[in-house]
A = this chain, B = another copy of it.
Amino acid sequence: MNGAGRLPAAARAIATGDRRALARTISGIENGDPAVVPVVRALYPRTGRATVVGLTGPLGVGKSSVLNVLVAHLREAGRTVGVVAVDPSSPFSGGSVLGDRIRFERAAEDTGVYFRSMASRGEEGGIAAATRQVVRLLDAAGFEVVLVETVGSGQVDLAIRDVATTRVVVLVPHLGDEVQTLKAGLFEIADVFCVNKSDLPGADLARKDLAELVSLGGARHGWSPRIVLTSALARTGVPELWEAVEAHEKFLDASGARAEEDRRRLAREIVGIVRDRVGRDAMARLEKDPELRRLLDRVASRQLDPYAAADRLYAQRARRARQR
Contact = CB atoms under 8 A, between A and B. Distances in A.
Interface of A: 1, 37, 41, 44-48, 58-60, 87-92, 96-98, 120-121, 124-125, 127, 151-156, 158, 176-179, 181-182, 184-185, 187-188, 213, 216-217, 259, 262-263, 266-279, 282-283, 286-287, 296, 299-300, 302-303, 305-310, 313-314, 317-319, 321-322, 324
Main secondary structure on chain A at its contact with chain B? helix
A287 B321 CA distance: 23
Contacts of A287: 267
Nearest to A273: B310
Contacts of A155: 124, 153-155, 158
Given A263-B296, A275-B282, A296-B267, A305 B153 contact: no
The number of times this chain is found in the oligomer is 2
The 4 closest A-B pairs by CB, nearest first: A154-B155, A153-B153, A273-B310, A321-B321
Contacts of A87: 181
Contacts of A90: 181, 184
A89 B270 contact: no
A300 B44 contact: no
A184 B217 CA distance: 36
Contacts of A178: 59-60, 98, 151
Nearest to A314: B274
A286 B305 contact: no
A152 B153 CA distance: 8
A148 B116 CA distance: 36
